[in-house]
């Protein structure tokens, strides 16, 4: 189940008979809510498996918008008789969306989501408009109309990334279409068709596993972009807070730091699938957190080019994913919110003050929104860490658990950290010294 409470079907009483029109529309809204929930839970597995940063950012945006659809559907549904209590999703939806994550090739999986499941969701919203009353159910119709526009936009936005799909995509799309047709669509709006005799559920044959490394596509990689050696990495720790460091150097270093929040995008995206029992509001806040981190990464990704940095000289760090994917989801989330984000505020405050010396309104704006978002993320951590701990069977106090998790992270870092060599020679990659030269310093 995908929630801690179960769906309760309305009883067939005289009262529900009198309310049959409302109950039927509430039933369809409930299915739409559950389908959007399942998209959020499963489409997040694409994010760390695809390589292009812009595609990762787009997927984070779509997940966030789907979470918003689900939230509005739930709020409207609770106003209607027959929506049901609890937040669990039906077994056939769980199975269908879990099946979609199974291809080992991430772009085959991407095709399944965007050639089958997203079009099915669009079709379901259109069906809702066809069968409900335009005046009696006006509030629901307005939601459906808005979500249809979102789904149509999502299809346009993803299309550039579906142009050169790998071999096997067509077969996988057909496979998912068979699974969907067996249910008559997400709302049961079509005639059900039997599965082919040779159909095999991949999700029944094996369990999905997160890959041991995340995909960064054509971009060079390394273990970490932080060090104390200006000839080694672009972010030199002591330079960030040294008052003698030129503010232009600090601006470029912090843009690299922001771009490397791609680390957070990749490892946070793993938490959704690993917490199927989580309440919807937890996944909703995680989806917002994920989208925020993708925007922060985009800040750096786009600003570095504007300032003359060749992005093919900027290595992408992989250590955090490599270490955190070895940990259960409640430990991943604890490190992210209570260690990495909570611990970054003093340094980022000093950086913000230095960047302001440049009178760069855009940089000031991006850093201010980054700080605002990170403060919200730590609040999410205080709210949801106890709940994720409970889901993971953790009985220690939050304080004890965080301390133990920090120690465990340090142990795992010795094993799984520092294993990614530099992809770009020191003379060619962006380092602290290269940043100094880039801004005109000796």
185-205 pLDDT, tens digit per residue, is 999 999 999 999 999 999 999
Helix/strand/coil (H, E, C) string of the chain? CCCCCCCCCCCCCHHHHHCHHHHHHHHHHHHHHHHHHHHHHHHHHHCCCCCCHHHHHHHHHHHHHHHHHHHHHHHHHCCCCCCCCCCCCCHHHHHHHHHHCCCCCHHHHHHHHHHHHHHHHHHHHHHHHHHCCCCCCHHHHHHHHHHHHHHHHHHHHHHHHHCCCCCCHHHHHHHHHHHHHCCCCCCCCCCCCCCCCCCCCHHHHCCCCCCCCCCCCCCCEECCCEECCCCCCCEEHHHHHCCCCCHHHHHHHHHHHHHCCHHHHHHHHHHHHCCCCCCHHHHHHHHHHHHHHHHHHHHHHHHHHHCCCCHHHCCEECHHHHHHCCCCHHHHHHHHHHHHHHHHHHHHHHHHHHHHHHCCHHHHHHHHHHHHHHHHHHHHHHHHHHHHHHHCCCCCCHHHHHHHHHHHHHHHHHHHCCCCCCCCCCCCCCCHHHHHHHCCCC
Largest CA distance in the chain: 84
Q: Among 271, 295, 293, 294, which Cα is nearest to 283's?
A: 271
The two structure tokens encoding residue 124: 């379901």
Kindly give, in sequence order, each residue whose CB lies less than 8 Å from that of residue 60, ignoring residues fewer than 6 positions away.
47, 265, 269, 290, 291, 293, 294
Which residues does the chain have with pLDDT short of 70?
1-16
Give the pLDDT score at 86. 86
Q: What is the pLDDT of residues 229-279, one digit of tens each?
A: 999 999 999 999 999 999 999 999 999 999 999 999 999 999 999 999 999
Give the whole-angstrom CA distance, residue 323 versus residue 80: 46
Give the pLDDT score at 17. 77
Do 136 and 142 contact (CB within 8 A), yes or no? no
């Amino acid at each position: 189940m995908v929630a801690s409470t179960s769906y309760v079907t309305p009883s067939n009483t005289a009262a529900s008979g009198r309310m049959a029109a409302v109950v039927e529309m509430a039933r369809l809204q409930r299915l739409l809510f559950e389908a959007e929930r399942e998209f959020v839970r499963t489409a997040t597995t694409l994010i760390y498996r695809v390589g292009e940063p812009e595609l990762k950012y787009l997927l984070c945006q779509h997940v966030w918008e789907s979470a918003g659809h689900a939230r509005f559907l739930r709020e409207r549904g609770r106003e209607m008789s027959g929506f049901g209590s609890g937040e669990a999703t039906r077994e056939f939806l769980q199975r269908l969306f879990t099946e979609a994550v199974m291809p080992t090739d991430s772009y085959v999986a991407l095709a399944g989501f965007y050639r089958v499941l997203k079009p099915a969701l669009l079709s379901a919203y259109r069906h809702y408009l066809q069968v409900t009353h335009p005046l009696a159910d006006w509030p629901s119709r307005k939601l459906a109309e808005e979500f249809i526009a979102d789904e149509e936009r999502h299809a346009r936005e993803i299309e550039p990334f579906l142009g050169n799909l790998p071999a096997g995509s067509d077969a996988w799309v057909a496979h998912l279409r068979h699974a969907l047709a067996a249910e008559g669509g997400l709302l049961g709006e079509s005639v059900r068709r039997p599965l082919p005799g040779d159909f095999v559920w991949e999700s029944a044959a094996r369990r999905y596993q997160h890959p041991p490394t995340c995909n960064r596509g054509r971009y060079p990689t390394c273990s970490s972009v932080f060090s104390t050696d200006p000839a080694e990495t672009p972010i030199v720790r002591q330079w960030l807070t040294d008052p003698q460091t030129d503010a232009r150097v600090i601006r470029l270093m912090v843009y690299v730091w922001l771009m490397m929040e791609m680390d957070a995008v990749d490892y946070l995206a793993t938490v959704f699938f690993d917490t199927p029992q989580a309440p919807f509001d937890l996944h909703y806040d995680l989806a917002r957190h994920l989208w925020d981190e993708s925007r922060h990464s985009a800040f750096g990704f786009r600003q570095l080019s504007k300032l003359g940095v060749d992005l093919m000289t900027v290595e992408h760090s992989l250590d955090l994913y490599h270490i955190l994917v070895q940990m259960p989801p409640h430990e991943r989330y604890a490190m992210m919110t209570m260690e990495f984000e909570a611990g970054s505020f003093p340094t980022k405050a000093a950086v913000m003050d230095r960047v302001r010396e440049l009178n760069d309104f855009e940089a000031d704006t991006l850093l201010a929104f980054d700080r605002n978002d990170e403060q919200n993320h730590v609040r999410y951590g205080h709210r949801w860490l106890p709940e994720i701990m409970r889901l993971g069977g953790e009985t220690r106090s939050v304080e004890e658990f965080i301390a133990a998790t920090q120690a465990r992270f340090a142990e795992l870092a010795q094993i799984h950290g520092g294993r990614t060599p530099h992809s770009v020679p020191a003379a060619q990659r962006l380092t602290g010294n290269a940043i100094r030269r880039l801004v005109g310093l000796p």
